[in-house]
Structure formats: C-alpha cells, structure tokens
Amino acid sequence: MSCGQLSQHLQRIKRQAENFQSKFPLPDKFPPQRKPDDGVEIAALISPDISYYYTTKVFIKRQPHQDELGLDMYGNPATNPYIADRLRNEAAVLQFVTKHTTIPVPKFLDLWMENGLVHLKTALVENGVELQHIDKSLLPTAVREVTAQLESTILPQLRSLSPAW
C-alpha cells in the first residue's frame, strides 16, 4: 500500500516509526505472526522497551525479548519484568471499560504468548488526530472540546465504577 493511500494519521505513524528506526536501528528478531485479515503492514517500531506493529487494520504491542534489552549499566543482561504484566493489564482494562462504560477505547482483539513474549492486539484507530498535530489556531477549541468530553462523559463514568475488591 502506498503512503498516498493512507490517511494523514497513518502516514504520520509510518513516518514517525521510520524516523525512530533510522535513529535507533534494532533488528526485529521476533515479529508476531499476523493473520491475513490483520491487514497490510504500515510500520514497525522496535525498541528495548516495547515493540509496536501497525497494519491497515490492527495495532500490536509486543514485550521485548531478552536479546533486545541489551545490557544494564553493570554489563549484565538487562531485564524489564513489568512489560508483560503491563500488556496483560491493558488488555483487562480495555475489556472492562468496554463492558461497563460507553467510553471510546480501541477494540480489544487478542492477547497471546508467542516465542515466550506477550502480545496485545487491538483494532487500529484509523483516523485519530493527536492534539500535537492540530493547527495552532484551532488548538484552544480542540483542547476545550477534549476537556469537556473528559469532564462530562469520561470521568463521571470512571468514577461510577465500583472496585471488585
């Protein structure tokens, strides 16, 4: 798929991932197995912290493999034991928020282990607009609208949820 066929949002993601990978090249030794209905790959961003895979339909996050973490400041293999838990928690939160609220969140699709690594797959938010990319003249209005939605819809729903403990 050519860059011209992608939305501005997806073109920006592609450019940002390519820019990051050109500055911090890491080989992708453990790409996730994708299904044909996951769409065409747009970009991959591989880092020692977490890896991101964007296709035309899905967004996949993957915990880093020990080989990708490098060494700590003492020359020992680095570890980051919390990324797998973070991905599991994110999957649980997406499912919980979807079930108990009307807050718009990416659709949870899958959580799985592959090569000993946790992967989280969600539907891709195709036409997202980040506030940092809003025209400066429109930014105050955009911030007011986002704040209004947070205050009138999102925060009240989160506050109304009762803990399960």
How many CB atoms are located within 10 Å of the residue 108 CB?
19
Do 108 and 159 belong together in one domain?
no
User: Which is higher by pLDDT, 154 or 129?
Assistant: 154
pLDDT score, position 150? 96
Do 77 and 124 belong together in one domain?
yes
Do 12 and 60 belong together in one domain?
yes
Question: Residue 32 is part of which domain span?
Answer: 3-128
Judged by DSSP in three states, 159 sits in helix
Do 107 and 35 belong together in one domain?
yes
pLDDT band of 67, cuts 50, 70, 90: confident
pTM: 0.88
In whole angstroms, give the CA distance from residue 56 to residue 54.
7
Do 147 and 79 belong together in one domain?
no
Detail the DSSP E strand segments found in 47-103. 51-55, 58-62
**What does residue 136 show for φ and ψ, rounded to 5 degrees?**
-55, -35
Structure tokens at 67: 């080989």
Do 36 and 108 belong together in one domain?
yes
Do 46 and 94 belong together in one domain?
yes
pLDDT band of 48, cuts 50, 70, 90: confident
Do 75 and 147 belong together in one domain?
no
Tokens 């999957």 belong to which residue? 91
The yes-or-no verdict on residue 4 having pLDDT over 80 is: no
Do 40 and 79 belong together in one domain?
yes
In whole angstroms, give the CA distance from residue 64 to residue 32.
12
Do 47 and 106 belong together in one domain?
yes
Cα end-to-end span (Å), the chain: 48
Do 51 and 24 belong together in one domain?
yes
Say how many domains are in the chain: 2
Judged by DSSP in three states, 88 sits in helix
Do 116 and 139 belong together in one domain?
no
pLDDT band of 162, cuts 50, 70, 90: confident
pLDDT score, position 9? 87
In whole angstroms, give the CA distance from residue 61 to residue 85.
13
CATH of the domain at 109: 3.30.200
